[in-house]
């Protein structure tokens, strides 16, 4: 809008990159949409609500023996874990709030790299060699500081995951879309 903005690092603030030049100029540009590439499936968790075009957004609404049931949604609320399905570029338009009902969503997510100690078995979106895309057990190989350990897994920024708390979780969960299509 023609105004100058100043990025300050006072009181514990952070700047991701600075060249060290005194009076370095930064330019902040308003953004209303984000483009992402989706090759079949992607997990997502963003710090803002978005409307989805060019891909389909899904919530995991139930977990059964070896399957999760995906429910199609028009948009994704801020901080909500979701799965996107598509082939190519999807446009995520930033919204004030989501209008879809995400009450029963079982996915969780993080907007920054995080080390998670799940209260159950954690699953992340994956496609191992010679296997189908699905939710597979996350490797618990870190501690809370990200060092070698056995209690946490690393969930990357803006990614979703599933935690299953039952005593006999599956090795992996395939997708079921609505009435039984897998």
Is a pLDDT exceeding 70 seen at residue 6?
no
If one compares 142 and 45, the residue with the highest pLDDT of the two is: 45
Confidence of residue 4 (pLDDT cuts 50, 70, 90): low
Tell me the pLDDT tens digit for each residue of 23-46: 666 667 788 998 999 999 999 999
For the residues 160-181, what does the mean pLDDT come to? 84
Q: How far is CA 95 from CA 31, 41, 52, 168, in A?
A: 11, 22, 10, 39
- What is the pTM (predicted TM-score) of this model? 0.82
- Whole-number Cα distances in Å, 118 to 55, 82, 98, 114, 137: 29, 18, 27, 12, 11
Q: Write the CB contacts of 111 (distance below 8 Å, at least 6 apart in sequence).
A: 45, 46, 47, 79, 157, 158
Q: How confident is the model at residue 174 (pLDDT cuts 50, 70, 90)?
A: very high
Task: Express as a percent the part of the chain with pLDDT over 70.
Answer: 81
- Give the residue ranges of DSSP H helices in 2-112: none
Backbone angles phi, psi at 12, to 5 degrees: 85, 5
pLDDT tens string 54-109: 999 999 999 988 899 999 999 999 999 999 999 999 999 999 999 999 999 999 99
For residue 173, what are its two tokens?
A: 């969960």
Instruction: Give the tokens for residue 97.
Output: 């709030």
């Amino acid at each position: 809008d023609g105004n100058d903005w100043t990025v300050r690092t006072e009181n514990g603030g952070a700047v991701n990159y600075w060249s060290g030049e005194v009076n370095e100029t930064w330019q902040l540009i308003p953004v209303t949409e984000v483009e992402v590439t989706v090759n079949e499936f992607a997990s997502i968790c963003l710090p803002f609500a978005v409307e989805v075009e060019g891909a389909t957004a899904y919530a995991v609404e139930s977990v059964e023996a070896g399957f999760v049931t995906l429910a199609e949604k028009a948009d994704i609320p801020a901080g909500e874990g979701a799965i996107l399905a598509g082939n190519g570029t999807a446009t995520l338009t930033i919204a004030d709030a989501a209008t879809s009902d995400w009450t029963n969503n079982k996915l969780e997510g993080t907007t920054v790299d995080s080390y998670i100690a799940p209260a159950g078995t954690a699953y992340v979106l994956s496609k191992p060699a010679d296997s189908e895309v699905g939710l597979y057990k996350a490797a618990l190989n870190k501690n809370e500081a990200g060092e070698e350990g056995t209690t946490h897994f690393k969930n990357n920024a803006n990614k979703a995951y599933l935690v299953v708390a039952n005593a006999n979780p599956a090795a992996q969960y395939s997708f079921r879309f609505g009435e039984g299509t897998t």
